[in-house]
DNA sequence: TTCGTATATTCGGAAATACGGATATTAAAG
DNA sequence: CTTTAATATCCGTATTTCCGAATATACGAA
């Protein structure tokens, strides 16, 4: 089960926090769009997504070769509130420009 | 200035999160009481407190040889809310028993 | 000044984490 | 079956973080 320490550890990295912000802003995003949005190597993004998934912060849905990620809607309330609190200051601090242009509209 | 990533990094450690919870529960606590409460070596506690201080999460007040720490009351709202959200699940997850018995009543 | 208490800092090593190119896997299309 | 596109995993390396004993500092008392 997710602990507060684990949540903070997950969010305590610029790239992972960026991914969470992007997913929080748009319901569901596929990996290629996330790779574009954060302009980091694909393997790096995928590795961080795996970490977020392992902590249950995000869930994935496969559609053909695409994987669509979204924030896990079944997180405990304290975790959801924590993430909601952080998103807007984080978007500013990380200078993320939402929304991400979607490559795959399926 | 404090960024969301830095805040999360600070809170993403069992010992630091414990210290923050203890300080959040009682206005002001001296180092020796914190050392007792978390039962960790003094140098370790002091090092983590220095880190929290460097991120401005806590402030210190010297009284003779004692140092009294408290949560920085001037934190941005998003940071205060984040910490407030996490305190109660963190106390449970870390099994902290508040309040801490105070050794120095000055 | 000297001593004792409370706290901070230093230091070397251990452990955890991050990185990204290369490779593997999965699935759709031909 | 082969190819291609999207994504995941592997692996060696680099960086960061953590630890606690030892040492240093700050302060009050004698």
Three state DSSP letters for A14-46? HHHHHHHHHHHHCCCEEHHHHHHHHCCCHHHHH
- Res B45: pLDDT: 98
Give the CATH number, domain containing residue B59: 1.10.10.10
Within a domain: residue B49?
yes
Three-class SS string for A45-91? HHHHHHHHHHCCCEEEEEECCEEEEEECCCCCHHHHHHHHHHHHHHH
The verdict on a CB contact (< 8 Å) between A4 and B13 is no
Domain that holds residue B16: 4-73
The tokens describing B62, both together, are 């010297």
Distance CA A31, CA A66 (A): 7
* Residue A97 within a domain: no
Q: With contact defined as beta carbons under 8 Å apart, do A82 and A3 qualify?
A: no
Q: Which residue is nearest to nucleotide D10 (CA to C1')?
A: A43
Q: Structurally, how many domains does chain B consist of?
A: 1
Q: Confirm whether B85 is domain-assigned.
A: no
Q: Quick check: is A66 in a domain? A: yes
Evaluate if residue B40 carries a pLDDT over 60. yes
How far apart are alpha carbons B7 and A90 in whole angstroms? 11
Closest by CA to A43, choosing from A31, A60, A26, A59, is A31
Identify which of B4, B10, B17 has the shortest CB distance to residue A4.
B17
Burial of A56 (0-12, 13-18, 19+ CB in 10 A): middle
- Phi and psi based region of residue B39 (left: phi greater than 0; alpha: psi -120 to 50; beta: remaining): left
Give the mean pLDDT of B90-98. 92
Q: Quick check: is A88 in a domain?
A: no
Residue A66 pLDDT greater than 60, yes or no = yes
Q: Is the pLDDT of residue B106 over 60?
A: no
* Residue A39 and residue A30 in contact, taking contact as beta carbons nearer than 8 Å: no
Judge whether B63 lies within some domain.
yes
Q: Do A3 and B76 touch (CB under 8 A)?
A: no
Radius of gyration of chain B (CA): 13
Share of chain B above pLDDT 90, in %: 90
Residues B72, B24: contact at Cβ < 8 Å? no
In a domain, A99, yes or no: no
CB A83 within 8 A of CB A24: yes
Q: Which residue has the higher pLDDT, B23 or A102?
A: B23
Could you read off the pLDDT of B73-89 as tens digits, one per residue?
999 999 999 999 999 99
Q: Which residues of A, range 27-86, sit inside 8 Å of B by Cβ?
A: 76, 78, 81-82, 85-86
| B55 pLDDT higher than 60 | yes
Is residue A10 one of the residues assigned to a domain? Answer: yes
């Amino acid at each position: 089960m997710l602990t507060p320490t684990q949540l903070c550890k997950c969010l305590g990295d610029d790239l992972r926090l960026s991914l969470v912000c992007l997913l929080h802003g748009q319901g569901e995003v596929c990996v290629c769009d996330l790779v574009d949005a954060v302009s980091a190597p694909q393997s790096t993004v995928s590795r961080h997504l795996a970490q977020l998934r392992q902590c249950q912060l995000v869930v994935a849905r496969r559609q053909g070769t695409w994987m669509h990620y979204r924030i896990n809607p079944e997180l405990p309330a304290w975790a959801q509130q924590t993430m909601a609190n952080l998103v807007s200051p984080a978007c500013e601090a990380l200078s993320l420009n939402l929304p991400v242009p979607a490559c795959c509209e399926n």
